Amino acid sequence: MLNETVLLESKSLRESVATRTDVLNRVKALSLLPDGMHVTTAMVAAYFQVGVKAIRSLVLDHRDELTANGYRVLSGTELSSFKELSGIQSHTPTLALFSRRTVLNVAMLLRDSETARQVRTYLLDAEYTARTQPVDNFVPTAPDPLDDRIDRRITDILGKAVVPMFNALIESSGEQRKELISLRDDVQRIERKLVQHDVRLVRLERVQGQRGLAGVMAAIDGMNWREFEEHVAQLLRRDGCTDVEIHGGSGDRGADISGRTADGRRFVVQCKHRAPYRSVWSGEMQKFVGTKTLHQADVAVYAATCPFSPESLAIAAQAGVTAVHRGLLESWSAGATLEVLR
């Protein structure tokens, strides 16, 4: 199995596992900005229990890699628009934003953080499981299991021993420096191709349903709409709500779930189980605002497995509707309590 320190050395390996952001919450909950998608430099530092200077220094050293994974700095009208849509309060002329993928990237680069080390360990555990999962004959010609084991063994050796050895030789080399750099680049290209080959096999397994879903949001994405409504109802009961009733289907008068909060306020909930690339649009939010009025609800929650459009978020804010987007839904499902239910 790969040692967690190999991620510090191998950019190609970091690229191959950059989408496994679910491991962040396996270590501890990652707090997000109100938009449910980004965190600030200070929030990243707090998550990894390091100083802000350490994160800024990391950005300086690896800016291109982090930018490719979602890091960006807002200023001017772009910053003003973001503040308005997300509700964030900031008085600085610029704002650095990290996506969940960028935070994972930081975890793979940050040396002096126990949290980052744990994230790397969980990440490679998941990757190891994916690589060692048996591959069924779901393609015309199944890969030879022996070849698959050899590929993994070679990738391990290249990333863990050969590339670091080349790095050491390059540091101490003289006339052969160019040739050694060229050889190292060739080795890294081979490593990258082997990793990509492994990733393709894993993706094929996912398509065929050969692997179980992992992570909070992955499990929720695997639900149907009825299971999702039951999941949200269970979260409400967990947080002390009473008289929780699932309506669903026709005749629900626009409310999928209703009940009372722990302090007696009446609530209504709309649930939308959709693919992550879709959105809740303004017309749908306007309709739910009418539902809140119809039910004379004190609390209105719109829980969705997809993002909300900027217009729908603006309507929700104006009408007092809590929009539970993917990021907030993940935190809620992982144990956090919705602020509106407190």
Q: What is the pLDDT of residues 151-170, one digit of tens each?
A: 555 656 655 566 566 566 66
Say what the pLDDT of residue 81 is.
85
CATH 3.40.1350.10, the chain: domain bounds:
218-341
Tokens of 224: 């149907």
Which among 171, 201, 162, 173 is positioned nearest to 6, based on CA atoms? 162
Residue 297 is predicted with a pLDDT of 94
pLDDT of the residue at 82? 83
Give the pLDDT score at 159: 57
Model pLDDT, residue 170: 61
Per residue in 184-201, pLDDT (tens digit) is 677 767 766 666 666 566
- Residues of the chain with pLDDT below 70 are 1-4, 86-87, 126-178, 180, 182, 184, 188, 191-215, 248-253
CB burial readout 68-82, b (16+ within 10 A) else e:
ebbbeebeeeebeeb
Q: pTM value?
A: 0.42
- Identify the CATH assignment for 218-341 out of 3.40.30.10, 3.40.1350.10, 3.40.50.2300, 3.40.50.300: 3.40.1350.10
pLDDT at residue 78 in the model: 87
Sign, Cα dihedral of 227, 232, 235, 241? negative
Q: Under 8 Å CB-to-CB from 86, ≥6 apart: which residues?
A: 33, 34, 35, 38
Instruction: Give the pLDDT score at 210.
Output: 38
Identify the pLDDT of residue 165: 66
Residues contacting residue 125 through CB under 8 Å, at least 6 positions apart: none
